[in-house]
Amino acid sequence: MKYTALLFFIILISCKSENTKKKNQHKYTNALIKETSPYLLQHAHNPVDWHAWNDATLEKAKTENKLMLISVGYSSCHWCHVMEHESFEDSLVAQVMNTNYINIKVDREERPDVDQVYINAVQLMKGSAGWPLNVVALPDGRPIWGDTYLPKEQWVTVLTQISKLYKENPNALIEQAENIQNGINSIAIVAVNNDAPVFEKQFIENAVNNWSKTFDNTFGGTTGAAKFMMPSNYHFLLRYAYQTNNSTLLDFVNLTLKKMAYGGIYDHIAGGFSRYSTDGKWHIPHFEKMLYDNAQLVSLYSDAYLLTKDTLYKDIVTETLQFIKNEMTTSENAFYASFDADSFNTEGHLEEGAFYVWQKEALKIALKEDFSLFSDYYNINDYGLWEKNNYVLIRKNDDATILEKHNITKQQLHEKKAHWKVTLAGIRNKRPKPRMDDKALTSWNGLMLKAYVDAYRVFKDETYLSSAEKNAAFLSSKVLRPDGGLNHTYKENESKINGYLEDYATVIEAFIALYEVTLNDIWLITARDLTQYTFNHFYDEKSNMFFYTSNEDASLVSRNIVYHDNVIPSSNSIMAKNLFKLQHYFDNKTFEKTAMRMLNNVKPEMLKYPIAFSNWFDLMLNYTNPFYEVVVAGNKANEKISEINHYYIPNKLIAGSTTENDLPLLKNRYNPEQTLIYVCVNKTCKLPVSEVKKAVTLLDK
């Protein structure tokens, strides 16, 4: 895509600087004081005249014919805080912004639709993007310039020059906006694949072989740094390795899961994972803890335990869910969004990781005679050293190595680890805690609801099921509207913002999973009804895909179709998998055809960059291998299903009933005298059996 020379001029001047003076933030209040988003409230006392993204703000820009400065971030974003401190709290910087721009602060978690439009624009302009995301747009919202974090001097220079250009030569900026708009529109659409849908094992094998060239066979994950955990990738690779008897690939997945669990990216004191590591060995995290990461990792480690029976994986699930229960669960059984990377250090300044790091001398005092063993176990040495003489706990060896080296028993090590965690948690909890983003996001709650279901399915802990059912009740009563739609956020008894496709996709997936372990039809029926709602308000008949935003939402610069899997799988890939399952449950031909068409549409891109299509590949396995409908009917259906769930069987769905039931898979199958298990493929069933072991032998992985 070609841009005018103006773009390159603006990028060039962003490297220049000019001096500005100090700020005094405390006497200011702007329009964000009326918001509920913790991120927006963090900026409510900036001298910048911030506005929230809403119709009134957009109309103000048009009426005054002023450029919009759109700054997107989130509450746990470290560099967002840095830029706020350097620029947005400075009264002279604010003067430049207020004079020349309508300044709009956006919480990307609250308005992912706005974020998606403008991050696409910056990726087009610069080749990469991130947060804080800063975009200058025309009064009609079309972007003309964008960047991420900039130091104060560069920031002022850029904004001054752009405003000058707008006054002197607005047509040049309009031309630039048109070029960028064309690029955004090209990203927002999905090419329709009119070829007949053909899904073959060799296609997947070729993709995995190509993908494997990026594997880090020393530390797991992909080569290089930074390292993101990408749970969807390893969920697919775990399943694929199992279904193809690929021991080399399974070893790699286990290596990755163990290295992540050993790394500093995992909180060895209180449980839970940070967002990503800045290095190649999973050691130094970007310390924020996000609900969506921990939810997906609970699901992943649960399934990995089911296949391997590795107790490390069980420990990770147990500790992470304990962290979620203790720190991220509301009194209404919702889940908070995130914890910040920053907290106050001993000097009273916000510092990344201050809550989590340790000094050697402090550890010696706290652990006394245990320090030597502790320091070997968690590498209080050159391997675990970070900066400023701080250590981030990281494991290098497995327990067996430590037991042999220190000549202690497994029970002794277990007791010592428990003691260390209690001791250090007591010390750490006296420190100022990282700031929390206390809104509940529907989509992320859906992910954590499914995590609890998956953990219950594998470990049979009734408290996990209780947490899942309570959260499902919260979603049903607080964010599910009378018209059948979902809202996106909830805080302080207020549910707001019309839901996005990700909200529907994740909640539908979670409700299907909850049905499979409870056999409570209400969750399956609600999943079907929410799916029908998405067809009514999100479906694109031209592409057979789903838009990210509802047809009831105000128009943005573009209406996107999100289909690339990332840290969270794309909303379209989750929806396609939902449709695949629901068409089995309800014998719905529209669901069946749509799922197949969606997968066929993205197929041409899947070989080129398989890491961005892992959830689609997982769906494709349902077509290339047998996919089973396991139907259990009878008074002991719940017991039989619990027993079936002892086995790792990723290519199945479960339907069951303890009474007569008219669902297509269950109709005329209830027998009050005995509980029978039917193993079916596309509603064609083998002879029923009463014993779970016999049923399992009928399932081909």
Is residue 495 over pLDDT 60? yes
Residue linked to tokens 């308000």: 537
Quote the CA–CA distance of 129 and 368 in Å, as a whole number: 47
Banded model confidence at residue 27, pLDDT cuts 50, 70, 90: confident
The pLDDT value recorded for residue 26 is: 55
Is residue 147 over pLDDT 90? yes
Query: Residue range 395-422: average pLDDT?
Result: 96
Residues contacting 360, CB < 8 A, separation 6+ = 375, 380, 389, 391
Quote the CA–CA distance of 582 and 305 in Å, as a whole number: 27
Is residue 19 over pLDDT 70? no
Q: Which residue intervals of 538-634 are DSSP H helices?
A: 571-586, 589-606, 614-624
Q: For the segment 120-134, what is each residue's pLDDT rounded down to a tens digit?
A: 999 999 888 999 999
Is residue 21 over pLDDT 60? no
Is residue 6 over pLDDT 80? no
Which two structure tokens, joined as six digits, stand for 696? 């399992």
Q: Which CATH class is domain 5-188?
A: alpha beta
Q: Which residue intervals of 560-588 are DSSP H helices?
A: 571-586
Quote the CA–CA distance of 661 and 299 in Å, as a whole number: 30
Percent pLDDT > 90 in the chain is 90
Is residue 283 over pLDDT 80? yes
Q: For the segment 581-637, what is each residue's pLDDT rounded down to a tens digit?
A: 999 999 999 999 999 999 999 999 999 999 999 999 999 999 999 999 999 999 999
The pLDDT value recorded for residue 116 is: 93
Query: Residue range 652-658: average pLDDT?
Result: 97
* Bridge partners, residue 186, by sequence: none
Residues contacting 513, CB < 8 A, separation 6+ = 450, 453, 454, 457
Banded model confidence at residue 117, pLDDT cuts 50, 70, 90: very high
Q: For the segment 190-230, what is each residue's pLDDT rounded down to a tens digit?
A: 889 999 999 999 999 999 999 999 999 999 999 998 899 99
Quote the CA–CA distance of 421 and 416 in Å, as a whole number: 9
Show me where the domains of the chain are located: 5-188, 201-341+437-624, 356-430, 628-697
Is residue 302 over pLDDT 50? yes
The pLDDT value recorded for residue 701 is: 67
Q: 349 versus 420: which is more confidently predicted? A: 420
Closest CA to 388 of 346, 433, 339, 325: 346
Is residue 8 over pLDDT 70? no
Is residue 25 over pLDDT 50? no
Contact 584, 630 (CB under 8 A): no
How many other CB atoms sit within 10 Å of the CB of residue 210? Answer: 14
Query: Residue range 569-587: average pLDDT?
Result: 98
Residue-by-residue DSSP string for 136-160 = EE-TTS-EEEEES---HHHHHHHHH
Residue linked to tokens 């029926």: 525
Residue linked to tokens 């800045």: 278
Kindly give the pairing relationship between strand 628-633 and strand 676-681.
Answer: antiparallel
Quote the CA–CA distance of 545 and 563 in Å, as a whole number: 9
Q: Which CATH class is domain 201-341+437-624?
A: mainly alpha
**Residue 675, SS3?**
coil
How many residues appear in the chain?
Answer: 701
CA 42, distance to chain mean position in Å, is 23
Residue linked to tokens 């594997």: 215
Q: For the segment 232-252, what is each residue's pLDDT rounded down to a tens digit?
A: 999 999 999 999 999 999 999
Percent pLDDT > 70 in the chain is 96
**Residue 132, SS3?**
coil
The pLDDT value recorded for residue 540 is: 96
Is residue 113 over pLDDT 70? yes
- 464-472, long-range: CB within 8 Å, 24+ apart, which pairs? 464/321, 465/517, 465/518, 467/321, 467/325, 467/329, 467/333, 468/514, 469/514, 469/518, 470/333, 471/333, 471/334, 471/335, 471/445, 472/510, 472/511, 472/514, 472/523
Q: Considering the chain, what is the average pLDDT of its residues?
A: 94
| Residue burial 159-197, b: 16+ Cβ < 10 Å; e: rest | bebbbebbeeeeebbeebbebbbebbeebbebeebeeee
**Residue 401, SS3?**
helix
Contact 650, 243 (CB under 8 A): yes
Is residue 185 over pLDDT 90? no
